[in-house]
A and B are shown apart, each in its own frame.
Chain A
Amino acid sequence: MSYLPYVIAAWIFLVGLYGLITSRHLVHLIICLSVIQSSTYVLLVAIGYRTGAAAPVFADIPPGTPAVDSVVQAVMLTDVVVEVTVVALLLAFAVQTHKRHGTVDPDQLRALRG
């Protein structure tokens, strides 16, 4: 089996991390967080993938047909739902930050230090 999906997942993770660390804008920063999250989608779906297998919906295919792993797909969907909440909350914080600090550049947020 191919290692390509795993390499891609790792690459997306690292790119997101790099973007997050060097970000100069909170919205960009939060989207970078979503990018990191996308790497977990790729990883999970790649783990469950089987060459030539059908989707794990047995409504119109006979039982016993090879199917991709449904557990990781369920895990991935749960992950999407959970993370939408967090990203929405974070974007709300970004809006509030703009209102209270007058900036969305993390370098210029000065309320907390030491």
Chain B
Amino acid sequence: MTALPPLPVAIPLAVAALLAGLNHFVKRRASSWIAIATTAINVWFCIQLLLQSIPNTIVYWFGGWQPRHGIALGISFVIDPIGAGLACIAGVLTLAALIFSSKYFDSVGTLFHVLMLVFLGAMCGFALTGDLFNLFVFFELMSAAAYALCGYKTEEPAPVQGALNFAVTNTVGCYFLLTGIGLVYARTGALNLAQIGRTLDQQPPGALVIVAFTFITCGFLVKTAATPFHFWLDDAHAVAPTPVCVLYSGIMVELGLYAVARVYWTVFSGCFSASTEALRGLFITIGTATALVGAGMCFGQRNLKRLLAFSTISHVGVMVIGFGLLTVNGLAGMAYYMLGHAGAKSGLFLCAGIVLHRCRSVDLFELKGRTARLPFTIAALICGAAALAGTPLSGVSLGDSMIHSAANRHAYGWITWISLASGVLTSAAIFRFAAYTFAGLGPDTPKSPEEPQKTEEHPETAPGDASTPAVMFVPAALLTFAGLFLAITPGLENVLVRAAQQFEDHSGYIRRVLDNVPAPMMAAPAIPHEEFAHGLLTLALAIGLSLLYLLWERGRHSLNAAAKAVQIIRRAHSGHVGDYVTWLTFGVAGFGLAALLLLR
């Protein structure tokens, strides 16, 4: 056994503590370099873990407390390719964000880097752990770092309010989670995921288990920003520094979904195996609602960061559907979609950061024709939007086809239309932004009382650059490129299907952890081919919709009339934290009621 598994958590946390302690002695530039080097080392360790975990799941017991007679005594890291892969994404995105911000914040101290490293360490721990309470602790640590980063610009009004909404909503979610963990412990006397799974397998699911399942799943779904738990996300994204948004959208939100999937497959899938069909319906309903609400809200936004935030909500909805199919191909499709989305969306947020840096604003109407001097950034923005729409060879496109083929097999073929709507509306919003601000197409200030109010967006940098610095453009371009051409990676879908199989193998996971029996290799299921037509149709419709909106006045009016329907949903995004918690409570109650009716 090597000492590799704890390093991706230990190194960033240790360096963060050092940097915080030496805050007054380390220069900003030096701390930036230290943080970048630490993250690069971390990425390397995560890649090592990923490579080692592909043949067989790694199980690491802290302090050598191995299970005795099939009973877990210690705390374990259980590392399979999906967990290790997410840790890799977290590392790569943190690296990109740190490089991007090395020129970005001119006035901040080292604390930004400290928080980023804590965030990274917590995300890695969250992705690697095999213990339910550990999952909660890393979840809280990750959240605390995220809240602090969100409200980093404390001298402005909006970030403080956004961070407050984010923190209160997510903390309530954490308490639901902890209550659920307590109930599970009361029933099983275990905190190790495998141990809980084995104990629950031996008894029929009672009401207590269903309530615990509701609380744990809803706690994680708050972080996933599934409707109706999503309200914090757009506020947090609109106000957080742009490099931090990269981490929120690219990995943190997805980690919430990862935890839902991880806990479902290791703990609950055995005892709920009789009602898989009902659970599939429940998760797909949540995913569909999320995808549609996000897409509907996205097109009406004028702040680019907020627009991208709603696009994230919409795409997460599709990911929830992918997991919710509860099949190997669905989960593999979700993983592929996540990878493609992480690349494209992070690239888009970095582009938004460049626009904010050069033009001092990200407001649609203020920027009319003003991004003409940023051709490369706008090109990257358009490529990112195209990747999200699902151009052939993009990660989103292949993930989408895998999800569709899995859905067809379970008579959920209509999901194609949901992902089409999500792709068209979210990409059209970005295309419209690009065309309006770059070429100046469209009306001057189409103001109407229904338009969302302008959110104050203060520039995060000192002005004065005559051109975009390379440290800003290169990460943005590379990430967008990765999202756009992910599917040319040979054999990636095979690896992901195998990883998904390993992930969903309930009894194999338990035997691997508790009895140290390597999981047997299974025959890989057939991998669907990519449907080019769907992605191209999405792309064409998105471009058409954005041009229609900008160039054809009557079309715009009818679209505005259609947008009236979205008004009701928009009013729910009130920025009032009490409202958000009310929605959250109703969401948990609704989920619990549905689960009790469906699973008994």
C-beta contact mask, A3-22 vs B, less than 8 Å → 1, else 0?
Answer: 00000010001000100111
Confirm or deny: A50 has a beta carbon within 8 angstroms of a beta carbon on chain B.
Answer: no
Q: Is the CB of A44 within 8 A of B455?
A: no
A110 interface neighbour in B167, B181, B575, Cβ under 8 Å: B575
Confirm or deny: B556 has a beta carbon within 8 angstroms of a beta carbon on chain A.
Answer: no
Name the distance in Å between A71's Cβ and chain B's nearest Cβ. Answer: 7
Q: Is the CB of B239 within 8 A of A112?
A: yes
Q: Is the CB of B581 within 8 A of A47?
A: no
Q: What residues make up the interface of A, taking CB atoms closer than 8 Å to B?
A: 9, 13, 17, 20-23, 26, 29-30, 33, 36-37, 39-40, 43-44, 47, 71-72, 75, 78-79, 82-83, 85-86, 89-90, 93-94, 96-97, 100-101, 106-107, 109-114
A–B Cβ pairs within 8 angstroms, 29 of them: A13-B175, A17-B581, A21-B582, A21-B585, A22-B578, A33-B171, A37-B175, A40-B179, A40-B182, A47-B182, A72-B182, A75-B185, A79-B178, A82-B140, A86-B140, A86-B143, A89-B144, A93-B147, A93-B151, A97-B164, A100-B160, A101-B161, A109-B161, A109-B576, A111-B161, A111-B575, A112-B158, A113-B453, A114-B571
Instruction: Provide the residues of chain A in CB contact with B577, threshold 8 Å.
Output: 29, 106
Name the interface residues of B143-182: CB closer than 8 Å to any CB of A. Answer: 143-144, 147-148, 151, 154-158, 160-165, 167-168, 171-172, 175, 178-179, 181-182
| Cα A40 to Cα B183 with chains together (Å) | 10
Q: Is the CB of B141 within 8 A of A82?
A: yes
Instruction: Provide the residues of chain A in CB contact with B154, threshold 8 Å.
Output: 93, 96, 100
Name the distance in Å between A101's Cβ and chain B's nearest Cβ. Answer: 5
Confirm or deny: B235 has a beta carbon within 8 angstroms of a beta carbon on chain A.
Answer: yes
Instruction: Provide the residues of chain B in CB contact with A85, threshold 8 Å.
Output: 144
Name the interface residues of B418-470: CB closer than 8 Å to any CB of A. Answer: 452-453, 455-456
Instruction: Provide the residues of chain B in CB contact with A44, threshold 8 Å.
Output: 182
B238 interface neighbour in A94, A106, A112, Cβ under 8 Å: A112
| Cα A112 to Cα B163 with chains together (Å) | 11
Name the distance in Å between B144's Cβ and chain A's nearest Cβ. Answer: 5
Given A75-B181, A89-B148, A106-B577, 16 additional A-B pairs, CB 8 A: A13-B175, A17-B172, A21-B578, A33-B168, A33-B172, A39-B175, A39-B179, A40-B175, A82-B144, A86-B143, A93-B154, A96-B154, A100-B155, A100-B156, A111-B157, A114-B573
Q: What residues make up the interface of B, taking CB atoms closer than 8 Å to A?
A: 133, 137, 140-141, 143-144, 147-148, 151, 154-158, 160-165, 167-168, 171-172, 175, 178-179, 181-183, 185-186, 191, 235, 238-239, 300, 452-453, 455-456, 570-571, 573-578, 581-582, 585
Q: Is the CB of A72 within 8 A of B185?
A: yes
Instruction: Provide the residues of chain B in CB contact with A97, threshold 8 Å.
Output: 157, 160-161, 164
| Cα A9 to Cα B182 with chains together (Å) | 12
Instruction: Provide the residues of chain B in CB contact with A26, threshold 8 Å.
Output: 164
| Cα A20 to Cα B143 with chains together (Å) | 19
Q: Is the CB of B575 within 8 A of A94?
A: no
Instruction: Provide the residues of chain A in CB contact with B452, threshold 8 Å.
Output: 113-114
5 A-B pairs with least C-beta separation: A114-B452, A112-B575, A111-B158, A100-B157, A47-B186
Q: Is the CB of B182 within 8 A of A113?
A: no
Name the distance in Å between A5's Cβ and chain B's nearest Cβ. Answer: 11
Instruction: Provide the residues of chain A in CB contact with B147, threshold 8 Å.
Output: 86, 89-90, 93
B570 interface neighbour in A17, A110, A114, Cβ under 8 Å: A114
Closest-by-CB residue of A relative to B585 is A17
| Cα A97 to Cα B167 with chains together (Å) | 14
Closest-by-CB residue of B relative to A40 is B178
Closest-by-CB residue of B relative to A113 is B575
Name the distance in Å between B263's Cβ and chain A's nearest Cβ. Answer: 17
| Cα A8 to Cα B69 with chains together (Å) | 38
A93 interface neighbour in B143, B158, B163, B300, Cβ under 8 Å: B163
Closest-by-CB residue of B relative to A79 is B178
Q: Is the CB of B456 within 8 A of A111?
A: yes
Q: Is the CB of B156 within 8 A of A36?
A: no
| Cα A111 to Cα B574 with chains together (Å) | 10
Closest-by-CB residue of A relative to B453 is A113
Closest-by-CB residue of B relative to A42 is B182
Q: Is the CB of B191 within 8 A of A71?
A: yes
Closest-by-CB residue of A relative to B235 is A112
B576 interface neighbour in A17, A89, A93, A107, Cβ under 8 Å: A107
| Cα A20 to Cα B162 with chains together (Å) | 17
Instruction: Provide the residues of chain B in CB contact with A43, threshold 8 Å.
Output: 179, 182-183
Instruction: Provide the residues of chain B in CB contact with A9, threshold 8 Å.
Output: 179
| Cα A44 to Cα B238 with chains together (Å) | 37
| Cα A24 to Cα B384 with chains together (Å) | 42
Instruction: Provide the residues of chain B in CB contact with A82, threshold 8 Å.
Output: 137, 140-141, 144
Instruction: Provide the residues of chain B in CB contact with A86, threshold 8 Å.
Output: 140, 143-144, 147, 167, 171
Instruction: Provide the residues of chain A in CB contact with B186, threshold 8 Å.
Output: 47
Instruction: Provide the residues of chain B in CB contact with A110, threshold 8 Å.
Output: 575
Instruction: Provide the residues of chain B in CB contact with A33, threshold 8 Å.
Output: 168, 171-172
Q: Is the CB of A78 within 8 A of B137?
A: yes
| Cα A21 to Cα B576 with chains together (Å) | 10
Instruction: Provide the residues of chain A in CB contact with B235, threshold 8 Å.
Output: 112
Name the distance in Å between B252's Cβ and chain A's nearest Cβ. Answer: 16
Instruction: Provide the residues of chain A in CB contact with B182, threshold 8 Å.
Output: 40, 43-44, 47, 72, 75
| Cα A82 to Cα B145 with chains together (Å) | 12
Q: Is the CB of B165 within 8 A of A112?
A: yes
| Cα A20 to Cα B585 with chains together (Å) | 11
Instruction: Provide the residues of chain A in CB contact with B133, threshold 8 Å.
Output: 75, 78
Name the distance in Å between B585's Cβ and chain A's nearest Cβ. Answer: 6
| Cα A33 to Cα B171 with chains together (Å) | 8
Name the distance in Å between A36's Cβ and chain B's nearest Cβ. Answer: 5
Name the distance in Å between A107's Cβ and chain B's nearest Cβ. Answer: 7
| Cα A56 to Cα B52 with chains together (Å) | 40
